[in-house]
Structure 1
Amino acid sequence: MSTPIIVFYRNMNLGHRNSPDRAMLEDTLREAGASSARSFQTNGTVLIEADAEPHEVVLRAAPRLLSLCGYNDAAFVRPLGQLTAILDRDPFAGTGDEQTYRETFTFFDDAQEFGAPIPWTNGRGDVEIIEFADGVALGLIRRAGTRVGNPTAELESRLKVPASTRTSGTIRRLVKAFG
């Protein structure tokens, strides 16, 4: 039996321009070698199971997504167990305050050094990274006046690689649904 894997697509909104609809995304992943594919919400988060190497499934699906709907962006593959283990540690306990807007998981590939002590806060004070390891940065988005921070933009700028963010609420619901 294969291990449940989560694919986090960057800048995918199911049914919108340059994004597949749910059936197209799931069918494309199955055609690429996933034994099952179940989209979660509409933000490009998908649970797959595959006997083949999951990264290869996602790579094989990419040209088909491009030809079907024009989608051509990054995808981040993580074992469901990694997300469960992070949540089991309750890493956000005691980190929020009255200005906290969201707790976040930001995914990226390539072994990267953050290059600054953790926890780290950006210059505007609206993004705080509290943990950084194994292709996942845990963070807090804070309100700064009328705007909120963007951990994806902060990490992409700092690391020079694509990234994609989900809220901790999404990750909790995902683990509850499939864990």
Structure 2
Amino acid sequence: MFRGYLRLLLFGFGLLVGVQVPGFIDDYGKRVAAHRAESEESLSGFRETAARFFNGDLNALVAHYKASSDEVMRSDAQSVEHLVYRAELLEGEWLAMQGPWYAQAWHLASAADRELLDETIAAYSYQVLLAPQAIAWGLSGGLLLAWLVELVVLGAGWTLGFGRKHKIIAHEQRHWR
């Protein structure tokens, strides 16, 4: 009986953790989109300058700033270069978050920008979405957690000899006759 309640408890915990995944993915995607929009706004004036003098090539604009004899321009080159790098990074993150849910989940697990991920974790508030995607994640998480814990416990019990039926040696079996 206790094992049944433990399974239910593990399933419930896995379910609640699993339903957080789509909400977290959504929050990360919104954070990326917001930073991307802000980055584009910051670069808009430089994009106009690059369009006017360098056929829209921001890297050529940065190279021009770096090659300038004016110390202020060379100093600003680092700032503009950082803005261009950040815009490219955010564009890549935004594109990754436009794919299907499994690609988004894989991106978050394997290649997400650490700074944005930490920012999302810090600002994340737990939520229970009733979207089909969240329900699927929740049920999968619950089943997986309950199954894994049961496998570990049963494996450890089997290794330690609990629950095994001992074989009766043939001569002991005949002895009582």
Q: TM-score, normalised by structure 1?
A: 0.22
The answer to which structure has the higher helix fraction is 2
The answer to which structure has the higher strand fraction is 1
Question: Which structure has the bigger radius of gyration?
Answer: 2
Indicate the structure whose relative CO is greater, using CA pairs within 8 Å and at least 6 residues apart: 2
Q: TM-score, normalised by structure 2?
A: 0.23
